[in-house]
Amino acid sequence: MENILPIEFLNRIKEEFGEPQAGRLSELLNGTSPTTVRVNPAKIQDPGAQLDLPIDTEVRMEGRSRYGVVLAQRPTFTLDPFFHAGAYYVQEGSSMAIENRLPLYQEVLRESADGKFRILDLCAAPGGKSTHLVSMFRDCPGAMVVSNEVIRSRATILAENMAKWGGANVVVTNNDPADFKPFGSFFDMVVVDAPCSGEGMFRKDPASRAEWSVEGVAQCAARQKRIVADIWPALRAGGVMIYSTCTYNSSENGENLSWIASELGGEVLYSEQCFPGEKYGEGFFFGVVRKNGAEQHAVIKDPLRGASVKPYKEGLEFVKDGYVCYRKGDLVKAYPAEAAVDMIYAESHLRAVSAGCAAATVMEGAKGRSIVPEGDIALCEALKRGVFPEVELSLEDALRYLRRETLAFPGEAKGYLLVTYRGIPLGFVKNIGNRSNNLWPQGWRIRNV
């Protein structure tokens, strides 16, 4: 039996998109959602050869992302070590469409007077767009991403996903939009994936149909305006806002985009409505608005004043050149050298959940100081390979490792070993001869599979 769509919703679709599109959409929304993933270019170059996924090789995701692939069927991702290693991210294909305006974003980067490129993903959990932004701008040395989530429990999940993705240029925060006002025109790009009525999820989550109402749409549209108005001052003139929703109606989409431009001061450069069945994915809308004005970044005097971290001058031999280390308590973190000051400023003035890459813990004991590598650095681009002895794990042992079971490496050197799966780092163990201490983070342990 088909799931019934709300009659008011169908009437709106007919009015805004016409009878043929409304009929086609009704049919598609009672169909099956495709499964799409976006690979991590820092870890995977050839998805077909490297990943153990049922990739549909006859499908290309034109107009979405050069990193996106469609799967012939949905596997059990929890049983794939590549998933836990951050080799790919499971994401709706339509949500990847923000990449098709990459030349426009690169133009904004070129126009930055001081060469900085600061990105804020305001409503970021669980991390789809933030991981995508890290990949899109991985060749820009000074780029940084502030990945924010207002709900604390979701911010913790966001921090885990960003750590696994492996970019050291990320600050994960847990702030309200209004908290960014003191930053002035700090950011070059602000992404607002606004909470919405969720019409685009009617196929993937049929239960959401019962929660939909005309009143709910109006409430969402008003809340979206408040969110955008709160964050708008943090965007520099000439910078761009990417505004997106997973819905169809014009109240939350085109009308809000026009409101941003007319009321806050900007120019709509692009907008796109994605429907199910078009290039794979669910319902999705996004638009790009350039902020009017002449001023560039706000000048921050002494940005490291009151910093929550201090330089770690000893350095770490397993951190690549091009990164700098700072210490907070016992934790040493690595930051890209060209973005470090901006990241530390953001970290010190917001409720930071994580920042940079947790590289090592400094342990002081009766026998002196010891350095314990953190799990995050094993998954990060900042890791210098070849410093730690490496051990390749089978699929069975990799899953045992991810369950935090005890593994034995009797033939390997004692001390810290980097364990890998098909060449991709997973994490560390401390080998003590007849057994090893599993250093996969406790909070990431897979269960019940």
- pLDDT attached to residue 1: 34
SS (H, E, C) 228-275: HHHHHHHEEEEEEEEEEECCCCCCCCHHHHHHHHHHHHEEEEEEEEEC
Other beta carbons less than 10 A from residue 408's beta carbon = 13
pLDDT confidence of residue 279:
65
Take residue 225 and report the two structure tokens written for it: 């305006």
Angle, helices 7-17 vs 19-28, to 10°: value is 130
**Domains located in the chain, CATH noted:** 7-89 (3.30.70.1170), 97-291 (3.40.50.150), 303-336+356-384 (no CATH), 385-449 (3.10.450.720)
Do you know the residue count of the chain? Answer: 449
Q: pLDDT at position 449, please?
A: 60
Per-residue confidence (pLDDT) for residue 149, from 0 to 100: 98
Contacts for 43 with CB less than 8 Å, ≥ 6 apart? 85, 86, 87, 166, 424
Q: In Å, how far are 120, 129, 189, 238 from 269, measured between CA atoms?
A: 19, 20, 14, 12
Please give the radius of gyration of the chain, using alpha carbons only, rounded to the nearest integer. 23
Res 112: pLDDT: 85
Residue 262, pLDDT score: 97
Supply the pLDDT for residue 167: 97
Identify residue 137 by its one-letter amino acid code: F
pLDDT at 21: 81
Contact 6, 215 (CB under 8 A): no
pLDDT at 268: 98
Distance of CA 149 to the CA centre of its chain: 11
- pLDDT for the residue 205: 86
Per-residue pLDDT of the chain in tens (449 residues, 90 and over written 9): 346 888 999 899 899 989 888 888 888 888 788 899 999 999 999 999 999 999 998 887 888 999 999 999 999 999 999 999 999 999 999 999 999 999 999 999 888 878 889 999 999 999 999 999 999 999 998 899 999 999 999 999 999 999 999 999 999 999 999 999 989 999 999 999 999 999 988 988 888 898 999 999 999 999 999 999 999 999 999 999 999 999 999 999 999 999 999 999 999 999 999 988 776 788 999 999 999 998 788 778 888 888 989 999 888 999 999 999 999 999 999 999 999 999 999 999 999 999 999 999 999 877 778 999 999 999 999 999 999 999 999 999 999 999 999 999 999 999 999 999 999 999 999 999 889 999 999 999 998 66
Per the DSSP assignment, residues forming a β-bridge with 270 are 288
**Nearest in space to 165 (alpha carbons), one of 120, 206, 132:** 132
Its pTM stands at 0.95
Question: What is residue 448's predicted lDDT score, i.e. its pLDDT?
Answer: 67
Contact 133, 109 (CB under 8 A): no
Question: What is the helix (H) or strand (E) element at residue 354, kind and residue range?
Answer: strand 352-355
